[in-house]
Amino acid sequence: MLATVGFVDRTVKKTLTAFCAILLLLMVVFTVYSVVMRYVFENPPVWGDLLTVLSNIWLVFFALALTVRDKDHIALDLIYSWLPLKAAFAIQQFWSLIIFGLGLIMIIYGMEAVSTMGGKYWEMWYFAWEDGGFVFKPNYMPKKYAIAIVPISGLLVSIAALASIIEDSMRLRAGKYELVKDLEN
């Protein structure tokens, strides 16, 4: 059972890392294309800057889930080193619970924002599911597609925080718990 959970954990981490790498590459490609089209051909695409920004936003939200799982988020490592191990454990668990709650808030309010978001990007085409298949829509991508990352990231952050809580608790029970800064991944 633990081997399966570990496999899923590693697979999710590799998948999110791959998404982040792809989004970073897309940011560079969209930016270079827009700059070349603007200054060389004097015909910039209307969608270039928007896709760069959207790629950046999605990259940051996916990276948030990675940092939570790897415990690379902002922490007070200096204070932890001064405390007894169990006190440091309790504080780290508290912060993981706070982050878990933040993920739940992102899910709840993100879903609300997605379902109530009005407006469209006039310069963006998109695909939609209609009549049992994907249909190309030439313009006016709904803005809710851009912010759909918030509840997705909230789910990933909550799962990552919960996994960290469980993992640290199991390590403490086994007598193998170490402070975050001492862990090697």
Domain boundaries along the sequence of the chain: 2-179
**In this structure, are residues 30 and 55 in contact, taking their beta carbons and an 8 Å threshold?**
yes
For residue 129, what pLDDT is reported? 76
CA separation for the pair 75, 45 (Å, rounded): 42
Tokens at 125, concatenated:
């085409």
Q: For the chain (length 185 residues), average pLDDT per consecutive 10? A: 79 93 95 93 84 92 90 68 82 90 96 88 69 74 87 95 88 76 46
For residue 184, what pLDDT is reported? 45
Tokens at 128, concatenated:
């939609």
For residue 87, what pLDDT is reported? 85
